[in-house]
Amino acid sequence: MQNLIQWQGHTWETKERWGEIHPGKRYCYYDPTAVEIKNGNLVLKTHYNPKSFTIDGQEFVSNIGIGLVSNTTHLSYGYYEIEAKLPSGKHLWPAFWMYAFESHPPEIDILEAYTKNKKGYFNPFAKSILGIWQVETNVHYGFRKDNTYKMTGGKTHWFGLMNPAKRFIKYGLLWEPSKIVFFYNGLIVRKITNKEVLKYFDNVTMNVIINNHVDSDVDVDNPPVSEFIIKSFKHEPF
């Protein structure tokens, strides 16, 4: 099965750079058949497609194939953007994010969206008085003494009444040495200038990932059939 695709002038793997299944999320795996280029758009799917795996000598079946692409190029400071329509269905977790080739964290989540037990993202004031869609940004930048991630915290943002599962929205990031700025449809929704956070992003290169994931509460025997449609991706170097 093909594990590399060409799209928007970049080469992408159809799995994580370290493998095709997360040891802690065995209910789904990165399925190359859930990745398609259709009319120039990147389409990342979720579907029922059982496959056998063995981890630490334990054999098991993972039922849900999910679409994921991982950019093979080590990218650095600059502007990143996708124009995308989010998938519909219960317990979906689509994302546009990046983490360092050199270590993890640091990580920047430009878009993490959650439908949970609904089919859409409408969830007024979930993590912000202005946010009505469960679409979040976050930054992971180190470890605490208990070995949990230091992070700025997931935050929802106001970007109008446009349903992100019915309209194409532009999700952007400006990453520079002095700031990390998030844009939704060209509007600044969040800015990080804290030097304690930013120092973790010095001298690293980023692996850009776009995926249509599912959360751990998904029905593994009857998962959602969905499509995350990405019209474009761009990176403009700093």
Residues 91-113: tens digit of each pLDDT: 999 999 999 999 999 999 999 99
Tens-place pLDDT, residues 58-92:
999 999 999 999 999 999 999 999 999 999 999 99
Q: What is the CATH number of the domain that holds 207?
A: 2.60.120.200
pTM of the model: 0.96
* Structure confidence at residue 215 (pLDDT): 97
What residues form DSSP beta bridges with 93?
Answer: 213
Give the total number of structural domains in the chain.
1
SS3 call for 195: helix
211 pLDDT exceeds 70?
Answer: yes
Query: What's the CA angle centered on 173, arms 170 and 177, to 5 degrees?
Result: 165
- With bands split at pLDDT 50, 70 and 90, how would you rate the model's confidence at 2? low
Q: What pLDDT score was predicted for residue 126?
A: 81
Domain extent for 205: 4-237
Q: Which of 50, 32, 131, 136 is nearest to 93 (CA)?
A: 136
Is residue 38 classed exposed, middle or buried when 0-12, 13-18 and 19+ CB atoms within 10 A define those classes?
exposed
- The confidence score (pLDDT) of residue 168 equals 98
Residue 222 has pLDDT above 60, yes or no: yes
What pLDDT score does 129 carry?
Answer: 85
pLDDT at 1: 45
Residues of the chain with pLDDT > 70, as a percent, come to 99
| Enclosing H/E stretch for 207 | strand 206-214
Nearest CA to 15 out of 53, 41, 57 is that of: 53
Phi, psi of 197 (to 5 degrees): -75, -50
Question: Does an H or E element contain 182, and which?
Answer: strand 179-184
